[in-house]
Amino acid sequence: MIAVILIACTMVAVTVVMHATGFSLTLRSLMKSRTALSTQTWPIVWLLIRVAWSLILIHVAEITVWAFCYLCLGCLPDAESAFYFSGASYTTIGYGDLVLPKPWRMLGPVEGLSGILMCGLSAGLFFALVTRIYAPRLEEMNLRKNS
């Protein structure tokens, strides 16, 4: 049981480090982007698509690391099963058609909790980005109203 807890804690730490690194690279790219200051629709849409792609790649990398963990521990028979189980757990879909062996079952819910937290961070980035794009416009509209 202690081995499972240690592995779970290590995997959560690896997931957070991966997400923070990917997040940092995405934010760096956004800071350099002039699109956030654009008032036209398509540059903003294109920016949001690029951010979505970036975040999805980060999540897929994290799912892949969890899948390799399951493979290395011998929890699942092959890479396809490990990746499928990991994706279903990380996204909290949890189909239940594949399950981990009894000693390792707690890893699935821990991966799900990690996935929820990382998806929440990603949603927070989208919220901050849209706020950054539209806040100056809203302030300008309010100033016009109050004048």
38 compared with 132, residue with greater pLDDT:
132
The pTM score is 0.88
pLDDT computed for residue 38 by the predictor = 67
Neighbours of 57 (CB within 10 A): 12
Q: Domain segments of the chain: what residues?
A: 2-146
pLDDT computed for residue 114 by the predictor = 98
The tens digit of pLDDT for each residue in 12-64 reads 999 999 999 999 999 998 887 765 566 778 888 888 999 999 999 999 999 99
* Torsion sign (Cα): 50, 56, 58, 64: negative
**Domain 2-146 maps to which CATH number in 1.10.287.70, 3.30.465.10, 1.10.3720.10, 1.10.1750.10?**
1.10.287.70
With bands split at pLDDT 50, 70 and 90, how would you rate the model's confidence at 119?
A: very high
pLDDT computed for residue 135 by the predictor = 81
The crossing angle, in degrees rounded to 10, of helices 79-90 and 107-146 is: 50
With bands split at pLDDT 50, 70 and 90, how would you rate the model's confidence at 83?
A: very high
Give the containing element (helix H, strand E) for 19.
Answer: helix 2-32
Q: What is the DSSP letter of 74?
A: T
pLDDT computed for residue 138 by the predictor = 74
Q: What is the DSSP letter of 91?
A: T
